[in-house]
Amino acid sequence: MNSKSSLAAGLLLPLLSLLCAAGQAEPWPEREYNPKPLADDVILPMPCEGSMVFRKITVPFADPLKDYPIEVGQENEEWGYLEQSRPAFIAGSFTEAGKSARQRYYLMAKYELTQLQYQALTQDKGCPKPAKELRTAQSDIGWFQAVALSNRYNLWLQEHALKNIPHEDGAPGFVRLPTEIEWEFAARGGQKVTPAEFRQTLYPMEKDDLHAYEWYNDNKSANGKMQPVGLRKPNPLGLHDMLGNAAEMMFEPFQLNKLNRLHGQAGGFIVRGDSYLTARKDFRTAARAEHPYYGKDGRGEYHDKAIGMRLVMVAPALTSRERIAAIDKSWKALGTDQGGKDAGKPDAVKNLTALTQTVEDKALKQKLQTLEQQLRASNQENENARDEAIRSNLSLGAFLCTKLKDDGLFVDLLQKNYEINCAQDAADDDNAKVCQARKTQLDDQQGRLQKLGNYYASTMASARRIYSLQQVEKQVPVQEQMLQEDPRVQGLVPYLRAYWKHAQSYLKTEKRDNDRWFADCKSIQPGS
Contacts of 52 (CB under 8 A, 6+ apart): 33, 43, 44, 46, 109, 117, 311
* H or E element at residue 430: helix 429-466
Separation of CA 167 from chain center = 19
Q: According to the model, what pLDDT value does residue 376 have?
A: 79
**Residues 57 and 50: beta-carbon distance below 8 Å:** no
Q: According to the model, what pLDDT value does residue 338 have?
A: 59
Q: According to the model, what pLDDT value does residue 20 have?
A: 37
**Which residue from 29, 33, 57, 54 is spatially nearest to 43, judged by alpha carbons?**
54
pTM of the model: 0.85
Contacts of 8 (CB under 8 A, 6+ apart): none
Exposure string of 332-359, with b = 16+ CB inside 10 Å and e = fewer, is eeebbbbbbeeeeeeebbeebbeebeee
Cα–Cα dist 401/31, whole Å: 45
Domains of the chain listed by start with CATH number: 40-314 (3.90.1580.10), 382-523 (no CATH)
DSSP 8-state secondary structure symbol assigned to residue 135 = G
Which residues pair with residue 95 across a beta bridge? 104
**Which residue from 56, 55, 176, 52 is spatially nearest to 114, judged by alpha carbons?**
52
DSSP 8-state secondary structure symbol assigned to residue 467 = S
Cα–Cα dist 210/285, whole Å: 12
**Residues 214 and 227: beta-carbon distance below 8 Å:** no
Nearest-5° angle of CA 119, CA 120, CA 123? 65
Instruction: Output Rg (C-alpha) for the chain, integer angstroms.
Output: 30
Exposure string of 390-404, with b = 16+ CB inside 10 Å and e = fewer, is bbebbbebbbbbbbb
| Weakly modelled stretches of the chain, pLDDT under 50 | 1, 3-23, 344
Helix %, strand %, coil % of the chain (to 5): 50, 15, 40
Q: According to the model, what pLDDT value does residue 359 have?
A: 79
